[in-house]
Amino acid sequence: MGYDVVKAEDLEWDEREPMHGQAPRSQASVTDAVKLENSRARMWRYPARTRGRRHLDPDQEEVFVPLQGTLTMLLGEPWERVDVGAGGVIAVHPGTPMQARNETDEDVVFLAYGAPTDHGHAEFFDDVESI
């Protein structure tokens, strides 16, 4: 039995390469910070009007929890727009196309948590520029 704790101010944030000509997103590995073994987790910070890559993961179930701002997700094929504010939860099941987005003028901070730990099998789709 045991546990690991990391305070918000102790998370190590890394800037990700900018996508789609937008401001760079930032991420902090919760997996490494708290030594997760059976799941993966990251904190993400998306500046105003930025988005990640549209993809599906055939192996992972992923949970997204906005902590600040409103997270927009494009889910399924054809995609459906889903907006969730701070404190809400979005669960994306394996094989479901998805794209995380910030469609607002404020930063969005969210936790992304997935299991099992298998990764690297994602299938990527064309970007959805505007919705």
Min mean pLDDT across 77-86, 89-98, 112-121 is at: 112-121
Percent of the chain past pLDDT 70, that is, above it, reads: 98
Quickly state the pLDDT bin for 127 (edges 50, 70, 90). confident
Average pLDDT over residues 81-109: 98
Instruction: Give the Cα separation of 103 and 41 in Å (integer).
Output: 23
Average pLDDT over residues 71-97: 97
Boundaries of every domain in the chain: 39-116
Environment class of 80 (CB within 10 Å of its CB; exposed 0-12, middle 13-18, buried 19+):
exposed
pLDDT of amino acid 19: 85
Instruction: Give the Cα separation of 44 and 47 in Å (integer).
Output: 10
The model's pLDDT over 9-62, given as tens digits with 9 standing for 90+, comes to: 999 999 998 888 899 999 999 999 999 999 999 999 999 999 999 999 999 999
In the three-class reduction of DSSP (H, G, I as helix; E, B as strand; rest coil), residue 119 is classed as coil
> One-letter amino acid identity for 11?
L
**Topology of the domain covering 39-116:** Jelly Rolls (2.60.120)
Q: Is the pLDDT of residue 110 over 80?
A: yes
What is the average pLDDT score of the chain? 94
- The residues pairing with 64 across neighbouring beta strands, listed in sequence order, are 90, 112
Q: Are 43 and 111 in contact (CB under 8 A)?
A: yes
Q: What is the value of pTM for the model shown?
A: 0.92
